[in-house]
Amino acid sequence: MTDPSADQEQTGVLYGAQTRLAIANFGISGWRFPRPFLHALGLVKACAARVNGELGLMPADLARAIEEAARAVADGHYDDQFPVDVLQTGSGTSTNMNANEVIATLARRRLGRPVHPNDDVNRGQSSNDVVPTVIHVAAVMELERLTGTLASLGGAIDGRAREHASVVKTARTHLMDAVPMTLGQELSGWAALLSEDLARLADTQRRLLSLAQGGTAVGTGLNTHPEFARRFAAAIAERTGLAFRPAPNAFAAIAAQDTAVELSGQLRVTALTLLKIATDLRWMNSGPTAGLGEIQLPELQPGSSIMPGKVNPVIPEAVGMACVQVVGLDAAVALAAQDNRFQLATMLPLIAFDLLQQLALLTGAVLALETQAILRFEADAEMLAQRAKRNPMLVTALAPRIGYERAARIARTALADGRAVIDVAREQSGLSEAELTHLLDLARAARPHEAR
């Protein structure tokens, strides 16, 4: 490749011939790699330069210039210099070369002498190990953000559960009335689901910390120093504070993207948890006169262009759409990851793009759900208790004493007459007032195993 410096000075671009060819060849989607990907790409190039300098594979001033230039890319100063479409060659070579060319130009300006994109910036590297490494590094850093917001949401839900620990309501199965429970118990279930999601994501994160870098083209490590992989992992671990390590088998790390698929699948599970919470909130908020009306979500904006005064559950709805998109992206990641013939997975750019979209969508959704729904809903404890008293399924507490059939008759009568279960039970159960009062106590029914 010829030095493109003269042309770059005229056009104001920092990239060179290979990037221009990619711009010309790939115009399918208009998608560009997001900031987390470019940040990780810059970090990878910076750490590679540092290690090459420490190993004596390039002059110290050259290594330093490349490292500084790559750090500037990582810090987001040159995002406009990465115009290549995501849908490109399946190894991501065009974007790797885009980075090499941009960094070479910046390093040349620092040194005042030529810096070669391949021989210098890409030394000891291949697109085939760089891009899988970038996927893992970017995903781990974004996963750190997501798990932080998930932990915060779980804590907020747990706090609201304790706040509503004594608020008795009617549970529902099949969307139909079931036995009493407390609102706190319902919320505790949501918090537990999120806790399980966090545990799954933490397990996946351990495998994301394993990096392909140092395997070069197919995993053999051709054209790199035998110490490069170990030193690179240590350098990027120091830079990020995350426990990165070389992949135990570079051939596997380059030939497939199983850990990315695993993460995507765990994000799908998390999305379904959030979708369940968002959907339950919508049902509980439904009304105000013809719905459940168990809680009131904050009134954030008008809900209709034709019906004055209508207010919709906009945050749960927006969260629901984000979750549905995450599930769809998971299917795309899985299909992209199956294109891993022989020694290379060849839909790496799409995997990176979709995985980072999933992480960003969930992080935003979790934050919105916590701050604009969970922390701000209000519950009508008195109304919930009154409904629970009229709930025919309260007879379930009588069944062990009077039998299923007699209890069912009491339930049908109470429902048909619009009467409280205890009033009908006085007439039909044959149980004493004291026993009825004990068995049909709402708090006892909701928490049957607590000492009283």
- DSSP string covering 265-276: HHHHHHHHHHHH
Backbone angles phi, psi at 175, to 5 degrees: 65, 10
Domains of the chain: 7-123 (1.10.275.10), 131-380 (1.20.200.10), 390-446 (1.10.40.30)
The reported pLDDT for the residue numbered 10 is 56
Backbone angles phi, psi at 439, to 5 degrees: -70, -35
Q: Which of 29, 77, 166, 304 is catalytic?
A: 304
The reported pLDDT for the residue numbered 5 is 58
Whether 174 is catalytic:
yes
Whether residue 244 contacts residue 237, with contact meaning beta carbons closer than 8 Å, is answered with yes
The reported pLDDT for the residue numbered 266 is 98
The reported pLDDT for the residue numbered 6 is 54
Residue 28's CB is within 10 A of a number of other CB atoms, namely 10
Q: Which of 174, 195, 438, 449 is catalytic?
A: 174
Residue of 317, 308, 318, 323 lying closest to 286 (CA atoms): 317
The reported pLDDT for the residue numbered 1 is 43
Q: Which residues contact 364 (CB under 8 A, 6 or more apart)?
A: 322
Residue of 280, 275, 263 lying closest to 329 (CA atoms): 263
Q: Which helix (H) or strand (E) holds 245?
A: strand 245-246
Residue 174's CB is within 10 A of a number of other CB atoms, namely 6
Global pTM exceeds 0.85: yes
Whether 164 is catalytic:
no
**Residues of the chain where predicted confidence (pLDDT) is lower than 50:** 1-2, 451
Pairing of strands 176-182, 168-173: antiparallel
